Amino acid sequence: MDSQVVAMDESFDLLRDPYPLLAQKRRDSGVFRGSVMDWSKTPDSLKPEHLYAAVSFDAVNRVFRDSKVFNSKIYDSTIGLFIGPTILAMEGKPHRDHRNLVSSAFKHKSLLRWEPEIVRPVVNALIDDFIAAGEADLVRDFTFEFPTRVISKLLGLPEEDLPWFRQRAVELISYTVKYTRAFEASAALKDYFLAQIDQRRSNPTDDIIGDLVTAEIDGEKLSDEAIYSFLRLLLPAGLETTYRSSGNLLFLLLSHRDQFDALQADRELIAPAIEEGLRYETPLTTVQRYATEATELEGVHIPAGSVIDVCIGSANRDENRWERSEEFDIFRKRIPHITFAAGEHTCMGLHLARMETRVALECLFDRLTNITLVTDDDPHIWGQPFRSPKALPVTFDAVT
């Protein structure tokens, strides 16, 4: 790899706070040569020759919307190794056809039903478990657990399988840390999902797996491999992002007390607060694309074959789009962020993620008061490309 390609500047703590470096890069150009990812564990033979990073809103938006030039096939050699072939790594007609089939499992009608039947009961059951203690770690006891339980119920998995499913989900989403274990989890999930698919072929059920088994467009159905791969995709795509974004929002609110109090007094502020949390502390800060041909991006020449970091987190702090972009402010004028990507690969679960976060906040506010962050262990948001607090120790009183 070209040694001129500077990956990281060591004077910045990129895991704790990548934003000062990204702001510096944006001041120079919307695109820079280099990467914000950690390539230190990748063998030289697998490192791409050319690395670039898109950091301005316009650059990130263009990359997402021009999928002919900036291709998602790169996922075949990264996360695709663990989840299998999915829409994430497809482009053009195959992507559209496949996405139409799987999106039948995320109908608006289903979302309306999921809120009272699944999400609210799951969230309230978790609060039941810790409310009497007057203290909790909202990551361990709440933000991690509720999307896991919600997904497992949406899929229609048996209640008693939850501990096994939770463990395999954690192993799969930690694929960058322990990849052998992630491969084992991936294989175990395949067998498990195959059995679930099989049951539904003879006995149709009203859940996501049931919908995927029966989905049909112009006589085309999803293969077993397409279904279990998509189900594995839902773990990093739907579970990890949602638990991290709700942890980020709670941390931001608890460390901006005036905004927290305003929100508790006026529930109308929940929707803008969710959007500001998604903008300001994006749970998935960077995705990647592969340049299929030589092109120009914001005046920078990108050679064919380059790997481009698409820095969503940086785009969301672009000072040319937002005033005081480096401030968390739930009262700011709403301008759409790009947290759920744009173009063909726009997140399929964005309405579900927003609904889950809203219900989580509503239930917490209904049942707890005087929620206070215990700051002894310096809780903070951390990580790259996935970011969230590791713990959120709080004390509170139960609403009587």
Binding site for ligand HEM (CB under 6 A): 72, 87-88, 99, 233-234, 237-238, 241-242, 245, 283-284, 287, 339-341, 345, 347-349, 352-353
Smallest distance, ligand HEM to C-beta of residue 203, A: 24
Nearer CB in complex with ligand HEM: 349/379: 349
Q: Which is closer to ligand HEM, CB of 254 or CB of 308?
A: 308
By C-beta, is 99 or 390 nearer to ligand HEM?
A: 99
Q: How far is the CB of 205 from ligand HEM (least distance, A)?
A: 18
Taking the complex as a whole, how short is the minimal distance between the CB of residue 296 and ligand HEM, in angstroms? Answer: 22
Phi, psi of 129 (to 5 degrees): -70, -25
Specify burial of residue 296 (Cβ count, 10 A radius: 0-12, 13-18, 19+). Answer: exposed
Pick the closer one to ligand HEM by CB: 130 or 186: 186
Rounded least distance, CB 251 to ligand HEM, Å: 14
Q: Return the residue nearest ligand HEM (CB atom).
A: 349
Beta carbon of residue 253, minimum distance to ligand HEM (angstroms, whole number): 16
Least distance between ligand HEM and beta carbon 144 (Å) = 14
**Closest distance between ligand HEM and the C-beta of residue 294, in Å?**
22
Q: Strand 307-311 vs strand 51-54: parallel, antiparallel, or unpaired?
A: parallel
3-state secondary structure of 311: strand
3-state secondary structure (DSSP) of residue 54: strand
DSSP string computed for 386-399:
B-EES--EEEEEE-
Residue (of 225, 202, 386, 389) closest to 312 by Cα position = 386
Is the CB of 322 or the CB of 396 nearer to ligand HEM?
Answer: 322
Task: Please state whether 219 falls in left (phi above 0), alpha (psi between -120 and 50) or beta.
Answer: left
Nearer Cβ to ligand HEM (259/285):
285
Cα–Cα dist 171/49, whole Å: 31
Q: Which is nearer to ligand HEM, 242 or 396 (CB)?
A: 242
- For ligand HEM, the closer CB: 288 or 295: 288
DSSP 92-161: HHHHHHHHHHHGGGG-HHHHHHHIIIIIHHHHHHHHHHHGGGSEEETIIIIITHHHHHHHHHHHT--GGG
Task: Tell me the CA distances in angstroms from 70 to 26, 28, 93, 298, 300, one per residue in order.
Answer: 20, 22, 16, 14, 15
E-state strands within the chain:
31-33, 51-54, 70-71, 135-137, 216-217, 220-221, 286-291, 295-297, 300-302, 307-311, 368-373, 381-382, 388-389, 393-398
CB 121 to ligand HEM: min, Å: 18
**Contact indicator for 381, 246 with CB cutoff of 8 Å:** no
